[in-house]
Amino acid sequence: MAWSGRFDDFKPFGISDSSRNRPSNNSLTIGQCAKNRIYRPAQNNQATFQTNDQNLSGVTKIGDIFPDMPNVTIVGVVITKDGPKSIMSKKNVGTERHLLAVTVRDAPDGFINVTCWGMVDFINNINNIISLGNVVQIKNAQVQGKQNSANDEQYKPYTPSQCQLNVSENHSQIELYSGWDLSSYNHLLHLPTKPSNDYYILEDINANGMALQGEAVNLLAAVRKVWPAKDITTKTGKKTKKCSVVLFDETCSNFTVDLWDHFADLASTWIPNQTVVFAADVKILYNDFKSTMIGTATSRTVFTIDPDTPEAHSLYQFASSHSDWNNDDRQREEPDPDLGSITQVYNVEQVKGLKNELTSQTTANYGVLYALITTFNIDYDGDDCSIFRNICSRCKREVTKEAGFVCTNQDCSGDLFTSENFDDSVSAAVEYNIVVSLSDNTGTIHFCHLQGAPAEHVLGHKAAEFQQLHTQKKTDVKWNYLLERCKVKFKIRKFSADTNSKSTVRILSLEKADPMEVYQCFC
């Protein structure tokens, strides 16, 4: 439903800041909460959502809002914010309309997008008064059904509500909430807006590379470093603020995410090796300068700081005890058994079960899988970074261009390329880092990692040699295996000892399957 009537049809109500003098202990923003909060599980989650019905008289719960509902009043906490912005008016050519978008939440499954419209002073006033983490009261908001358009999906955060709200300068009112029950909304700041187990581990993003170019994914990661924010001017002349943060998890020690505007301010409160973030809908891009995949926050992104979930608590324990942890720590692993001793045959569904059943980092599951190769992207023209990585030739740990190709292993030489004490025995080497999907009649398992010597055996070339091959040659090699049934010997291991840590499948050997051998195994 479109807004009926004109914005100047009503007497201005404006924005109230009368509640700005509320007690300071009830007016912490999300950034201030992050600085003062001790990360520990909630003792009684249910109690935090109890509110006084008399205090909220006339207020509609977000979950109860339906399309074409008469103007409503809601109370909730601001979980994300975008703007201020201006757009050209379609009705009054040559003039601008100003807006500010926020997402407000009043229950674990109750959050909704709100767009404030008005003159520049009205929108700037809202922007100055309302911050992430504030509890706000919105009165006389117009309910509008979601457009279900590409713009809604591309530029607005996901919400479970089928509606969105419009706040008009001349009709609606938005103010900081001054009720006594402010603390009942605090826990909502630590609940992700997506399922707590719906996220990519960072290694899978690096391994999948350009296949995720432009996609929006969820991340659960700890903060390793926050770079100072910088004031920049965009190509369109807009002045904004940018900040880069380095994230890590059990699988990857270094993944960069660029933040803008309000998110850059939010990041200044994050504490390295302590703050854990669940980032919903981060856009994944290939950065030419850094020669790696990075994330960037958009108007769709919602950051949940120190999520109150089992997965986040597990990652927090890992981060606080592995401040010097590095991505490719293979030298700590127990040696794999001889390939000839791996004989137990599984199907894809059973392999997925093995991944879920694994409970310890010190153990691993091995097996044989007869499956079709359904993802084998090794022939990107002019951009094969997603199937290679640079490693230290001595300790085999990954080194990145962003870090200046420095080996961070304290027991190894440091700077591989620029050190004055350069040692010819220590140099950067190129290694395969290919992601493969395996499918059979029971399903598909994605993000199986084909690396090192097994990858060299399959492709018939060293990694450095394969880089120099013509694209057509790479494609010919790919079609030797793509959609072919292969015999795969695999290893499954967890990234850390925590029970909620995810596990990965590493391919130890891969070859085309003998039809007779397959027949004998399944008949």
222 and 362 co-located in one domain: no
| pLDDT at position 43 | 37
Same domain, yes or no, for 245 and 146?
Answer: no
Asked whether residue 458 is assigned to any structural domain, the reply reads yes
User: Alpha-carbon dihedral of residues 185, 306, 315, 322, nearest 10 degrees?
Assistant: -150
- The number of distinct structural domains making up the chain is 3
Contact call for residues 472 and 381 (beta carbons, < 8 A): no
Of 287, 321, 355, which one is at a domain's C-terminal end? Answer: 321
What pLDDT, on a 0 to 100 scale, did the predictor assign at position 424?
A: 39
Half-sphere exposure of 53 (CA within 13 A, CB side): 0
The CATH number of residue 35's host domain is 2.40.50.140
Q: Which two tokens stand for residue 338?
A: 């001889």
Q: Are residues 303 and 284 in the same domain?
A: yes
CA 41 to chain centre: 22
**143 and 252 share a domain?**
no
User: What's the domain range around 294?
Assistant: 202-321
Last residue of a domain, one of 164, 188, 212: 188
The answer to the question of residue 46 being in a domain is: no
Query: What is the rounded distance in angstroms from the CA atom of residue 134 to the CA atom of residue 136?
Result: 6
370 shares its domain with 275: no
Is 445 inside any structural domain? yes
- Rounded Cα distance between 481 and 506, Å, is 17
Is 250 inside a domain boundary?
yes
Domain contains 100: yes
Last residue of a domain, one of 188, 216, 231: 188
33 is a domain residue: yes
Residue 357 and residue 281 in one domain: no
- Whether 360 and 509 map to the same domain: the answer is yes
Q: Considering the domain boundaries, does residue 313 fall inside one?
A: yes
CA 92/CA 267 separation, integer angstroms: 39
Q: Per the structure block, which two tokens stand in for 463? A: 């990694």
8 Å CB contact between 221 and 495: no
Q: Are residues 73 and 170 in the same domain?
A: yes
| Binned average pLDDT, 10 residues per bin, the chain of 523 residues | 36 42 39 43 36 58 86 88 76 74 90 87 85 88 77 80 86 85 86 90 84 89 88 74 88 87 87 91 80 86 92 89 52 67 92 80 83 89 64 67 58 42 51 90 92 90 88 91 94 64 85 89 75
